[in-house]
Amino acid sequence: MRLVRPRDLLVTLEPDGAVMIRSTSRGAGARAPAWAVQILAFCSEPRTRAECEQAMGPTGAQAFDGLADAGLLVPAEEQADSPVIFANYAGVDIHRYMLNDEVRLQAYWEGLKAVVKPDDVVIDAGSGTGVLATMAALAGAKRVYAIERTDFAQVIPQVAADSGVGDIVQVVRADLGQVELPEKATVMVTETFGHVAFAEGMMEDVLACVQRNMVADPRIVPFAFSLHAAPLATAPKDLLHPFRKRPEGVDLTSLLGDARGRAHDRKVLPAEVGPTIDLGTVAMPCRTEWETSFELPEACGALAMWFTLHMAPGADGRAPVDMPSGPHDPTTHWEQTLLPVALSAGEHHLRIHRAPEDGRTIVIDIDGHEVRSR
């Protein structure tokens, strides 16, 4: 089997000359002799055990086996995968957090009622507890495929049965980006949105599922999302202030560089932000690649970002169903995203793309200043 190193490997030198090798996206790590780094360098492209042995002898083959067993060499198709993020969704705590978001649930319910018709076959992409799959069934769908990768797939049948739609909801435990269903669906509902909508890197998986499993003109809930931003005159203290030299003498300034490159997600107060800037709208399904330009009337010390999910378009006299998530809107579990970047007045270019070291992290690039969010 050909194996390759994960893209986010971090190697640190231990006091005794050994190395500690970690992959945060895979939740993997191992202590190894320093020369094992040569194997990782050699496996920057897919290699077999025999190739390692030919290049570096029997010890190279042994190191290949050890790194593979530790999850630090993986099949090429898994190189960009992030098992840790899915493991995080396999526990009840994260779902308690999301199920407490009544703004989100009510918006999805209203959107599904507006979109789903009696003959529809619906996909719930990334079903979690099955709440949206069950809603789609209650909204009148003929059949619902609840696609869920984690252990929570086991609870969905009971949720559907307890809700009176156990005969409609069919659970498919599979990878969203690779699943193949026995029939084409007409509607998809998905809540695979992270901060700034794109975070968590699920857009490519959703797109692949649509292309493989849906009719030519599918309806998606939400069918689009819009991105928004607002300037903050000065950077809030919780962005960079913690990474300073403290009064008692502890010096944390070495962490400032990393802090400037990381977004901070929290509820932003309306009084903190200036006028809202509408950055643009993205149709679903999409890729994690988007760019735009925007104008700032004045300089700012930081930028807040958020999004609006467009659940259902207006039709037949019915108003559109939208779910905004900004500082002036009812609070959702997404809150808002603060970017620690000071900007001058004038035009700026913004680009969002997947981080090269981890496909579940996004990079928000403003004029070359990169901020990562997950």
pLDDT digits (tens, 9 = 90+) for 39-86: 899 988 899 999 998 998 888 888 898 888 888 888 877 756 555 444
- Of the residues 222, 242, 265, the one at which a domain ends: 222
Looking at residue 78, its pLDDT comes to: 72
Nearest to 176 by CA among 250, 259, 85, 272: 85
d(CA 186, CA 61): 50
Give the β-pairing of 121-125 and 143-147.
parallel
Looking at residue 85, its pLDDT comes to: 47
Nearest to 112 by CA among 319, 322, 311: 311
Indicate the DSSP class of residue 87. Answer: H
Find the domain containing 247 and state its range: 225-373
- Of the residues 45, 79, 113, the one at which a domain ends: 79
Nearest to 111 by CA among 325, 316, 318, 312: 312
16 shares its domain with 58? yes
Looking at residue 356, its pLDDT comes to: 82
353 shares its domain with 234? yes
Q: What is the pLDDT of residues 143-200, one digit of tens each?
A: 999 999 888 889 999 999 999 999 999 999 998 889 999 999 999 999 999 999 998 7
Full-model pTM: 0.79
d(CA 22, CA 29): 4
- Please check whether residue 302 is in contact with residue 371, taking contact to mean a CB–CB distance below 8 angstroms: no
284 shares its domain with 359? yes
The token pair at 372 is 């990562």
- Of the residues 79, 109, 136, the one at which a domain ends: 79
d(CA 29, CA 71): 8
Looking at residue 330, its pLDDT comes to: 96
Residue 30 has pLDDT above 90, yes or no: no
- Please check whether residue 274 is in contact with residue 298, taking contact to mean a CB–CB distance below 8 angstroms: yes
* Domain CATH for 66: 3.90.930
The token pair at 213 is 């499993």
Give the model's confidence band at 126: pLDDT under 50 very low, under 70 low, under 90 confident, else very high: very high
Q: CB-side exposure of 17: number of CA atoms within 13 Å? A: 2
185 shares its domain with 230? no
22 shares its domain with 151? no
The token pair at 147 is 């696609």
Looking at residue 193, its pLDDT comes to: 93
Give the model's confidence band at 24: pLDDT under 50 very low, under 70 low, under 90 confident, else very high: low
192 shares its domain with 310? no
Choose the weakest-confidence range: 13-22, 167-176, 240-249. 13-22
182 shares its domain with 144? yes
d(CA 275, CA 25): 36
- Give the count of domains, the chain: 3
255 shares its domain with 350? yes
Higher pLDDT, 38 or 228: 228
d(CA 355, CA 371): 10
Looking at residue 70, its pLDDT comes to: 85
Choose the weakest-confidence range: 139-148, 208-217, 312-321. 312-321
229 Cβ neighbours under 8 A, 6+ residues apart:
276, 277, 279, 294, 303, 304, 305, 306
Query: In a 3-state reduction of DSSP, which class is residue 315?
Result: strand
Looking at residue 359, its pLDDT comes to: 73
170 shares its domain with 155? yes
Choose the weakest-confidence range: 31-40, 82-91, 239-248, 333-342. 82-91
